[in-house]
Structure 1
Amino acid sequence: MYVKHNSIALMRLERKKRGITEVEMSRRMGLNSAQHYWNIENGKNRLTLEYAALAAKALNVDPSFFICEIVKRKV
């Protein structure tokens, strides 16, 4: 599994669409500070699978909104 390339933009868009502040988002994700969330949303810290899952829960969206599974198939 991996985080979609546009996940940070999607996360910011959904957060703003729902009227959730960065402070509230960091609280919902269980982060230690709003600065930590700001760093993720602004590319200073990586959006890991764990943080993507927490963001999905905080925004009440399915984790697949941010995360893709790599599917291998025989050709």
Structure 2
Amino acid sequence: MNITKSQAYIELTIASWENTSLGATLAEIVRRQRQYQNDYVEVHQVVELFKTEDKADFLVILNVIRDVDNPGDPVPQES
């Protein structure tokens, strides 16, 4: 089994907390980060970079684990 581990960094800006669920947004980020069916992606850390009354900027750090010998089929990416 040939496993690769990497990290991905995503900048996230939330303009309105009234219309945003952080948990649902993070779940969508994890889902879209998968490139193959057998990829395992998890949120490692969420760092708040900047916050005002209206918006907040975050850095989302993801751990990506892939079995290179058996990655599975490519995950179709939505546009």
- Same fold at TM > 0.5: no
Structure with greater proportional helix content: 1
Structure with greater proportional strand content: 2
Q: Which structure has the bigger radius of gyration? A: 2
Q: TM-score, normalised by structure 2?
A: 0.28
Q: TM-score, normalised by structure 1?
A: 0.29
